[in-house]
């Protein structure tokens, strides 16, 4: 029996979506275009029906790839993209001014070869622009038929409530995994209260929650984990004891470590839709099948206890990266 679909705004989707960033951005050089196109087609063939991209991924190339590759299959999936985190040449910038959001949307529609984007997120908060002004532009895009649903990314409870008061927010995307449990502070509860679907990115802990995660010495020079403290030494090694115990649990259940990690997010919030990313066809299938894995209350309690926030060593972001988001932090992270 297939797992029940989960609500996302006015739609329903398979419980596990596909994050497409990895194909162009984040963990190394871009994937060969033919291989990336084949992976996207295989994702739809497997039954993925929620794909997530953003303007900044590959500086527009990720959207272009999806638009070109899946133009004839657009009716098979819900397409999400993001604005505000933009590029000027190859320089990243944050710009949530209303006119900039509308201009970015037009560019994304062209790259995606769509008349409407199903779910359009503000990728980051812009401290220079009131969220109410930015949401006004997003509401205008809905009225114009350019987007169907509005989302936020890497924002906390306060901004979510302010944004939702201007126009309904359909989804909140933020990092959530056994390693990163900050959404449990406030935003998860706020999403449940407001009827907002929570979309965890990096549910496999940026590749750490795997059977054989790469060591920091093996990261490609373009791998962004090089600047994320938790994925570098000494923290990478300090967290190995947690990983080995979780791998043992996965072994007892007969699943991969990544499947266990995704299944944990699915069980923690019965309405969430995690979006693991991958460039591997085998991992694509493994991640999809994680929705079939049912974890007992004993296993959930063991994982919750093992990965208590205080037990995980190292911050998830550098100070500069943390300053660019509005996600809540635990008291021990602020001390």
- Residue 1 belongs to some domain of the structure: no
Q: What percent of the chain has pLDDT over 70?
A: 100
The predicted structure's pLDDT at residue 92? 84
**Predicted confidence band of residue 162 (pLDDT cuts 50, 70, 90):** very high
Better-scored residue on pLDDT, 87 or 258:
258
Sequence-distant contacts of 237-243: CB under 8 A, at least 24 apart: 238/313, 238/314, 239/179, 239/208, 239/312, 239/313, 239/314, 242/306, 242/307, 242/311, 242/312, 243/208, 243/209, 243/213
- Mean pLDDT throughout 266-276? 97
Q: Is 235 a catalytic residue?
A: no
- Residue 3 belongs to some domain of the structure: no
- Residue 4 belongs to some domain of the structure: no
**Predicted confidence band of residue 167 (pLDDT cuts 50, 70, 90):** very high
- Residue 168 belongs to some domain of the structure: yes
- Residue 96 belongs to some domain of the structure: yes
- Residue 307 belongs to some domain of the structure: yes
Tens of pLDDT along 23-36? 998 898 999 999 99
Residue-range definition of the domain harbouring residue 235: 14-334
Tens of pLDDT along 222-261? 999 999 999 999 999 999 999 999 999 999 999 999 999 9
State the catalytic residue, choosing from 14, 27, 48, 57. Answer: 57
- Residue 9 belongs to some domain of the structure: no
Supply the CATH number for residue 103's domain. Answer: 3.20.20.100
Residue 240 to residue 154: CA distance in whole angstroms: 27
Residue 13 has pLDDT above 80, yes or no: yes
Domain count, the chain: 1
- Residue 251 belongs to some domain of the structure: yes
């Amino acid at each position: 029996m297939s797992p029940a679909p989960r609500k996302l705004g006015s739609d329903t989707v398979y419980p596990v979506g596909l994050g497409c960033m990895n194909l162009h951005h984040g963990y190394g050089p871009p994937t060969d275009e033919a291989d990336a196109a084949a992976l996207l087609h295989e994702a739809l063939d497997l039954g993925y029906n929620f794909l997530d991209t953003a303007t900044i991924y590959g500086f527009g190339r990720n959207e272009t790839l999806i638009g070109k590759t899946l133009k004839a299959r657009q009716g098979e999936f819900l397409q999400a993209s993001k604005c505000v985190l933009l590029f000027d040449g190859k320089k990243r910038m944050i710009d949530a001014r209303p006119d900039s959001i509308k201009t970015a949307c037009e560019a994304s529609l062209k790259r995606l070869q769509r008349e409407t984007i199903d779910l359009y997120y503000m990728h980051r908060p812009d401290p220079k622009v009131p969220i109410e002004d930015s949401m006004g532009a997003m509401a205008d895009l809905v009225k114009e038929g350019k987007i169907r649903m509005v989302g936020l990314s890497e924002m906390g409870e306060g901004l979510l409530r302010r944004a939702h008061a201007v126009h309904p927010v359909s989804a909140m995307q933020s990092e959530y995994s056994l390693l990163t449990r900050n959404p449990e502070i406030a935003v998860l509860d706020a999403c449940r209260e407001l009827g907002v679907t929570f979309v965890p990115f990096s549910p496999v802990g940026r590749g750490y929650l795997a059977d054989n995660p790469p060591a920091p010495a093996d990261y490609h020079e373009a791998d962004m984990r090089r600047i994320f403290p938790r994925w570098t030494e000494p923290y990478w090694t300090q967290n190995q004891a947690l990983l080995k115990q979780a791998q043992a649990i996965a072994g007892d259940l007969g699943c991969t470590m990544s499947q266990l990690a995704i299944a944990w997010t699915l069980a923690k919030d019965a309405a969430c839709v995690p979006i693991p990313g991958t460039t591997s066809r085998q991992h694509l299938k493994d991640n999809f099948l994680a929705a079939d894995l049912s974890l007992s209350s004993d296993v959930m309690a063991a994982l919750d206890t093992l990965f208590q926030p205080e037990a995980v060593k190292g911050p998830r972001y550098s100070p500069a990266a943390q300053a660019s988001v509005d996600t809540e932090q635990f008291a021990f992270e602020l001390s």
